[in-house]
Structure 1
Amino acid sequence: MKRKTILTLLIISLFFGCSKRKLDTVSEKTASDSLNYYMGVLNSKRALNSDKTKAISSALKIVESLKNTSRNRDTLFSIVYILYNNQDWNSFNSASQYLLKQSIKANDSINMAKSYRFKANYFKRIQSYDSSFIYYRKAEKIYYKKKDKINYANILFNKGIVQSSVGDFLGAELSLSKAYYIFKDSNEKDKLYGTLNQLGLVYTELKEYDKAILFHNKALDVVKNIKSWNREHPVAICYNNIGYLYLRQKKFNEAIVNFELGLKDNLLAEDDPDTYGCLLDNLAYSRLKSNNYKDLPKLFYDALEIRNKLDDYTYIVGSNIHISEYYQKIGNNKLALEYSEKALKIAKESKIPVNLVFALKQASIVDKAKSIYYSEQYIKINDSLQIEERKSKDRFNKIQFETDEIKQENVGLAERNRNLLYAFIITFIIVALLFVVRAQRARTRELLYKQAQQKANEDIYNLMMSQQAIIDESRSKEKKRLAQDLHDGVLGRMFGLRLNLDSLNSNTDEESVKKRTELLNELKTIEQDIREISHDLNREKQVLINNFVSIVHNLLEEQKNAHEANVTYYIDNDVVWDKVANAIKINMYRILQEGLQNINKYANAKNIIVEVKGDKENVYLKIQDDGVGFDVNRKSKGIGMQNMISRTSDCNGIIDISSKKNEGTKIVITLPIETKQLITEEQ
């Protein structure tokens, strides 16, 4: 009863266990299908924004419930990418952090790098440059280690922009230069343009104007050779940057020319109002500085109108300051003060210190009553900005230094570990060499003995073969003589007799005719018999007269009788062994002998096939078994196999060894019947 209860419980547990696994599989499949559906909604151009928001939320929940697989991490990255583009920063932060966590768990360096990169982009966007720099550095190290040049260069490019933003122009120059040397040898022309453009801006800030104009012109050359930029207008941007460079140098006429070239782009106002507004404002300011009041102040107001629509505090402050400067220059102090106050108000609202510095500087010039106050505020904030800029530079340098220091420590540790490893390897090699030398001495003595024995065997065999060659030659001459006697003597006489009998055909009596016919038939029979004997004597089978074939035959028969493996062999009777050099025969015999010994010792084979064939130029030996086989690619081979290879090489032959584990071994050896080297040796 107890056993029956236990058996029942086991069956129930097995049933529910199987059901649970099945349910888990179905559940995972359902989740995957739902995830595919939501990703389809997110990638659809027709879907409403509200539907996409719901789809993102649902997709995130599903991904978090699934296993941490490569596919699910890739899907999570796609969601992070969409959230970044949609600027849904709350969801982006949580999703990117989760992706980073999962990637670190799985040691997924690619998705780790992507996570770092997007977080760095986010912090750059919100102007948290310290955090941005740190994450760019982390991504940079991964891409450098992976030797992913393009992504590595992308990180350097963005890192350079971050460094420029905090005034670390020397650091930015280094990062951007590295990126430039990678992009210039790639097909990433848009990235090359961006890097050249940014280098031009960096050199402008460093007041290295010759280098700045060089890189801006290079950027212009790149974009002119690219046909399609969609709705982007890089040519206009290049002209704006070149014009700004000349404006910084106070070369106002050159600046005006480049700003006007940029404004010739008819689609710029619609596609890129930001750049269009910059060109208008820069052109107006250059004309103001060069005392050229053409279209002023209209150009300033047009630029301000565009910038108000874009709601960009920095540009709005800049436009108001320029308009204030314009009115100050033409002597309208009232409007100059009015636009200065507007600039100051907007700068305070923006909470961007740089905007406030420029607004305070203009206010201190136009507002005489508060000039001292504004000047003090300007100096105070400007000093604090410079201090903060230096701190940022120091922080960046500290991060860079700490990274390099860690890298140097790792190099030191690696070097120490390498030295320890070398010491261990050298010690091991010395001990192994001592052991090998000792073992090799014993083996060498054994080999010397075997070689001496083998040399003696070869000398005996050579002598036998030489004697056999003399016997074969005598026998051949005797056979030839007998064949000629039979053919030219007996057959000739018999042929004459038949002719004489034919001449008696004139007798017409029945008995004579019958007798003549019988005699003629008899003579024909005798003639045919003698002809066959003659031919047989002339082409006697080489197998019966050649000592080499007999020796091979005996070796294979001994193999059959002495070992369990079934031996099947075939020796081609058409091989003219007289033409085969003795050295070839000796080596061929020894190779066969060595091959059979190897099979007997190691192969554990049930069947052995041996074939000896030949043609006009070569003789062929094939040895095949169905044994355990071996790895033909291993560096160290047995002495037997080395001997076979060595003998084949001595004969200028070719050896082909093919073998697989548990599939047997096949050795095919091709030896030339004669070679110049062997003929020389025999002579």
Structure 2
Amino acid sequence: MKQSLFILLLFLFFSCNKKKSSNPESNTNDSLVYYSRILSNDKKSFELKSETSKKAILFAEKKENSKAKREALLSVITFQVLNQDYFRFDFAYKTLLENSIAANDSVNIANAYRFKASYLKNNAVYDSAFYFYGKSEKIFKNLNDEENLGNILLNKSVTQYFANDFLKADLTATKAYNILKNQDDKYKIYVILTILGNINSELNEYEKALEYYKKGLETIEKNNIDNNQHPKATSLNNIGHIYKLQKKYNEAITYFNLALENRNIIKDTPDLYVLLLDNLAYCKFKVKDYSRLPEMFLESLKISDSLKLYSSSIYSLNHLSEYYAANNDYENARKCSERAISLSKMTKLPVDLLSALKQGSLVFPSEESKKLSQDYIRINDSLQQTERKSQEKFAKIQLETDEIIQEKEGLAEKNRNLLYVFVVSFILVVLLFVVRAQRARTRELLYKQAQQKANEDIYNLMMSQQAIIDESRSKEKKRLAQDLHDGVLGRMFGLRLNLDSLNSSTDEEAVQRRFELLNELKTIEQDIREISHDLNREKQVLINNFVSIVHNLLEEQKNAFEANVNYAIDDTINWDKIGNTIKINLYRILQEGLQNINKYANAKNIWVEISGNAESVSLTIQDDGIGFDVNRKSKGIGMQNMISRTHDCKGIIDIQSKKDQGTKIIITVPIETKQPETITQE
């Protein structure tokens, strides 16, 4: 099975190994980009690509490290591996690898290892190819690039397959299939199913091989996949080959005939046509259907010889020898066997030589047959030893790779532990700093609260004193009212009576008396004016006590800080109707607002306005500072106090602020009739 499908498997392997075009920017005139495009274009001829590959290497040699250079070198080694046209491959590979490492370009590092492995596999250096595929696999795995990881595992399984490590090849190919089976590239799924079928065929697991081949055929038919390599015919040939190995020759003939119905095979894939024709001829021979025999064998051999497909020629010669021997034509049987042995020495492929020696031992006389059998046994034993060594070498490479991975993971664990220690230490230091800063802030807040309480106590004392003054003045007003009623009004009543009595008199004495009474009226008028002025001055002083305190606070703000302060206080507000609690809270809100502006706003101008009407009084504080986010959940203690004081007054607070657009706070509280009340200390 292996020798008959060698060329086919090479095609399948390369078809899934093509790199995706990186599609460099179309607006660049860099020659490296131009070379990359040619090498990535499937429509360009081999001759043009080969010449372009050489030019790209010579041009890249003079260029500094860049993405375009790395992409061009990748296109070069991709073309060289796919077409086995190795012009300065080592230079291209090493330059790509070194430039990618310098640029920390993980993808192209992995690609460099990948195509180095493919180059080594093409030259049958399977252990080294396995090693480089392993390096590429680790990088793509770390990058979580499943598509490329699946491709690498597929190629790795092919390498193990060619090195006859079929069990490991089966495990690796299964991993690849599990990664690639859900991807959109159905042709690649067909490829991995075909490889799994080939591996199980070599393991003599024919039923499993059939299952994989039939899944591959189903994938081809279901997705209408067709190209000039005729994957459907390939699948039919593989299924027929398994039936042939199971000696189910009639079933095999059915599948070989189905494949040969495609007449384009001989033109597009003559190597596949040769296999199909020879397999069909052999199965017909086994069921004793001699129609077109040995002509089919001879036609297959003729095409193989013309194309120099020596392994296929050996395959056909062995079948011809068996056919002639079955018909007692030992002369032609021996000629075919001799030529098969001769060609196998030319190909130097153990599998070709073993098959030729085995057939020769069946058709030559006893002495020659014995020698050929001994050669077969010796070479087979040597091949088995080589396979064991190869498998041991693969196992050693895998073990060393695992040890490196474990060592790397150990170092990574140590680095993680060091990082954890550093992070924990840093967090502890930050926490200590935060705790100390919080304690200092708490002490500052306690001090401010104590100072605020003292200020409120002073203000409450002032208000209590003002209440006493108000009471005294109320008594004085009552006394003045009584004086006006009992004194001024009594005098005015007496004057009115006197004037009434003089209305009818016109003598000089009456005139003189009226003149005296008029002077008395002027005196009473002056007394009333003086009393009125005194009362007005007292009321104004009473009203202006709260206004004066606010005025003093704003003037202190002007003198103590650089910000320009503008304020306006509505002189129509009837402060007598406003309770002391509201006055205290408005004063504290204003004080806190100015303090916040001084500490945080970095403002140049401050506007304060106190206005009111019959139902409410409003305080507006505005600045042109840096502003803040009003939607943030956490607010400062000062802002919380302002909100709390507004709510205590059953008022409404509106905070408007945007970043770099300043802040505006509007507090509106309802006016309540002034009542004696107890002030709650905070």
TM over 0.5: yes
Q: Percent identity?
A: 49
CA gap of 1:425–1:368, structure 2 versus 1, over 3 A, is: same
Tell me if structure 2 keeps the 8 A contact 1:243–1:258: yes
Greater mean deviation of Cα atoms: 75-84 or 247-256: 75-84
SS at match of 1:68: coil
Counterpart among 300, 312, 316 of residue 309 in structure 2: 312
State the partner residue of 2:165. 168
Q: Deviations over 1:99-143 (max 9, x none)?
A: 223223333222222211222222222222122212211111111
Aligned residue pairs: how many?
Answer: 555
Residue pairs, 1:591-630, within 5 angstroms: 596-607=594-605, 625-626=624-625
CA gap of 1:644–1:234, structure 2 versus 1, over 3 A, is: farther
Q: Deviations over 1:30-71 (max 9, x none)?
A: x97565666677678999977766554443233211211222
Instruction: Note the C-alpha offset of 1:91.
Output: 2.7
State the partner residue of 1:147. 144
Output the amino acid matched with 2:333. A
In the alignment, the residues of structure 2 paired with residue 224 and residue 46 of structure 1 have an alpha-carbon distance, to the nearest angstrom, of 26
Q: Which has the higher contact order (CA 8 A, sep 6+)?
A: 2
SS at match of 2:88: helix
1:410 and 2:414 are equivalent in the alignment: no
In the alignment, the residues of structure 2 paired with residue 106 and residue 405 of structure 1 have an alpha-carbon distance, to the nearest angstrom, of 27
State the partner residue of 1:98. 95
Output the amino acid matched with 2:382. S
Tell me if structure 1 keeps the 8 A contact 2:301–2:316: yes
Structure ID, larger Rg: 2
In the alignment, the residues of structure 2 paired with residue 587 and residue 161 of structure 1 have an alpha-carbon distance, to the nearest angstrom, of 86
Counterpart among 553, 558, 561 of residue 563 in structure 1: 561
Instruction: Note the C-alpha offset of 1:272.
Output: 1.8
1:115 and 2:112 are equivalent in the alignment: yes
State the partner residue of 1:527. none
Question: Structure 1 stretches of 5 or more lacking a match?
Answer: 1-30, 468-544, 573-581, 614-618, 675-683
State the partner residue of 2:356. 359
Instruction: Note the C-alpha offset of 1:389.
Output: 0.6
Q: Deviations over 1:243-277 (max 9, x none)?
A: 22222222222222222222222322222222222
CA gap of 1:670–1:243, structure 2 versus 1, over 3 A, is: farther
In the alignment, the residues of structure 2 paired with residue 407 and residue 203 of structure 1 have an alpha-carbon distance, to the nearest angstrom, of 30
State the partner residue of 2:288. 291
State the partner residue of 1:330. 327
Counterpart among 374, 379, 385 of residue 387 in structure 1: 385
In the alignment, the residues of structure 2 paired with residue 645 and residue 301 of structure 1 have an alpha-carbon distance, to the nearest angstrom, of 102
Instruction: Note the C-alpha offset of 1:452.
Output: 6.0
Tell me if structure 1 keeps the 8 A contact 2:284–2:290: yes
In the alignment, the residues of structure 1 paired with residue 664 and residue 216 of structure 2 have an alpha-carbon distance, to the nearest angstrom, of 66
Residue pairs, 1:671-682, within 5 angstroms: none
In the alignment, the residues of structure 2 paired with residue 336 and residue 654 of structure 1 have an alpha-carbon distance, to the nearest angstrom, of 109
In the alignment, the residues of structure 2 paired with residue 462 and residue 170 of structure 1 have an alpha-carbon distance, to the nearest angstrom, of 96
Instruction: Note the C-alpha offset of 1:595.
Output: 5.9
State the partner residue of 1:376. 374
In the alignment, the residues of structure 2 paired with residue 175 and residue 412 of structure 1 have an alpha-carbon distance, to the nearest angstrom, of 26
Q: Deviations over 1:452-487 (max 9, x none)?
A: 66688899999999x9xxxxxxxxxxxxxxxxxxxx
TM-score, length-scaled by structure 1: 0.68
In the alignment, the residues of structure 2 paired with residue 425 and residue 564 of structure 1 have an alpha-carbon distance, to the nearest angstrom, of 44
CA gap of 1:58–1:656, structure 2 versus 1, over 3 A, is: farther
In the alignment, the residues of structure 2 paired with residue 170 and residue 120 of structure 1 have an alpha-carbon distance, to the nearest angstrom, of 21
CA gap of 1:261–1:605, structure 2 versus 1, over 3 A, is: same
Tell me if structure 2 keeps the 8 A contact 1:193–1:219: yes
Instruction: Note the C-alpha offset of 1:346.
Output: 0.4
Counterpart among 250, 257, 260 of residue 260 in structure 1: 257
CA gap of 1:251–1:57, structure 2 versus 1, over 3 A, is: closer
Instruction: Note the C-alpha offset of 1:161.
Output: 0.7
In the alignment, the residues of structure 1 paired with residue 296 and residue 586 of structure 2 have an alpha-carbon distance, to the nearest angstrom, of 101
CA gap of 1:457–1:198, structure 2 versus 1, over 3 A, is: farther
State the partner residue of 2:278. 281
SS at match of 2:87: helix
In the alignment, the residues of structure 2 paired with residue 108 and residue 227 of structure 1 have an alpha-carbon distance, to the nearest angstrom, of 38
Output the amino acid matched with 2:199. V
Instruction: Note the C-alpha offset of 1:443.
Output: 3.5
State the partner residue of 1:208. 205
Tell me if structure 2 keeps the 8 A contact 1:657–1:665: yes
In the alignment, the residues of structure 2 paired with residue 225 and residue 300 of structure 1 have an alpha-carbon distance, to the nearest angstrom, of 34
Instruction: Note the C-alpha offset of 1:435.
Output: 5.3
In the alignment, the residues of structure 1 paired with residue 79 and residue 205 of structure 2 have an alpha-carbon distance, to the nearest angstrom, of 40
1:191 and 2:193 are equivalent in the alignment: no
State the partner residue of 2:510. none
Q: Deviations over 1:276-314 (max 9, x none)?
A: 221212222222233333432222222222222331221
Tell me if structure 1 keeps the 8 A contact 2:130–2:156: yes
State the partner residue of 2:336. 339
State the partner residue of 2:70. 73
Instruction: Note the C-alpha offset of 1:549.
Output: 12
State the partner residue of 1:250. 247
Tell me if structure 1 keeps the 8 A contact 2:54–2:87: no
Flag the structure with higher helix content: 1
Tell me if structure 1 keeps the 8 A contact 2:39–2:75: no
Tell me if structure 2 keeps the 8 A contact 1:360–1:374: yes
CA gap of 1:424–1:333, structure 2 versus 1, over 3 A, is: same
Tell me if structure 2 keeps the 8 A contact 1:564–1:606: yes
SS at match of 2:297: helix
Output the amino acid matched with 1:374. L
In the alignment, the residues of structure 2 paired with residue 233 and residue 620 of structure 1 have an alpha-carbon distance, to the nearest angstrom, of 89
CA gap of 1:170–1:432, structure 2 versus 1, over 3 A, is: same
Q: Deviations over 1:74-120 (max 9, x none)?
A: 22323333444553213333322322232233332222222112222
State the partner residue of 2:300. 303
CA gap of 1:85–1:217, structure 2 versus 1, over 3 A, is: closer
Tell me if structure 2 keeps the 8 A contact 1:240–1:262: yes
CA gap of 1:670–1:599, structure 2 versus 1, over 3 A, is: closer
Output the amino acid matched with 1:117. R
State the partner residue of 1:63. 60
In the alignment, the residues of structure 2 paired with residue 303 and residue 57 of structure 1 have an alpha-carbon distance, to the nearest angstrom, of 38
Output the amino acid matched with 1:229. D
SS at match of 2:293: coil
Instruction: Note the C-alpha offset of 1:391.
Output: 0.8
Output the amino acid matched with 2:598. N
Instruction: Note the C-alpha offset of 1:154.
Output: 0.6
Tell me if structure 1 keeps the 8 A contact 2:596–2:638: no
Counterpart among 204, 228, 235 of residue 238 in structure 1: 235
Greater mean deviation of Cα atoms: 188-197 or 119-128: 119-128
Residue pairs, 1:624-639, within 5 angstroms: 625-626=624-625
Q: Deviations over 1:601-660 (max 9, x none)?
A: 3554434578999xxxxx998966455x89x89x998xx74654797799899978754x
Q: Deviations over 1:297-343 (max 9, x none)?
A: 22222222222233122111111101111111222111111111110
Output the amino acid matched with 1:380. R
SS at match of 1:90: coil
CA gap of 1:599–1:77, structure 2 versus 1, over 3 A, is: farther
In the alignment, the residues of structure 1 paired with residue 281 and residue 551 of structure 2 have an alpha-carbon distance, to the nearest angstrom, of 109
In the alignment, the residues of structure 1 paired with residue 641 and residue 310 of structure 2 have an alpha-carbon distance, to the nearest angstrom, of 87
CA gap of 1:365–1:224, structure 2 versus 1, over 3 A, is: same
In the alignment, the residues of structure 2 paired with residue 584 and residue 79 of structure 1 have an alpha-carbon distance, to the nearest angstrom, of 86
CA gap of 1:85–1:156, structure 2 versus 1, over 3 A, is: closer
In the alignment, the residues of structure 2 paired with residue 123 and residue 649 of structure 1 have an alpha-carbon distance, to the nearest angstrom, of 81
Q: Deviations over 1:162-212 (max 9, x none)?
A: 111111122112221121112122112111111111112222222333332
CA gap of 1:379–1:642, structure 2 versus 1, over 3 A, is: farther
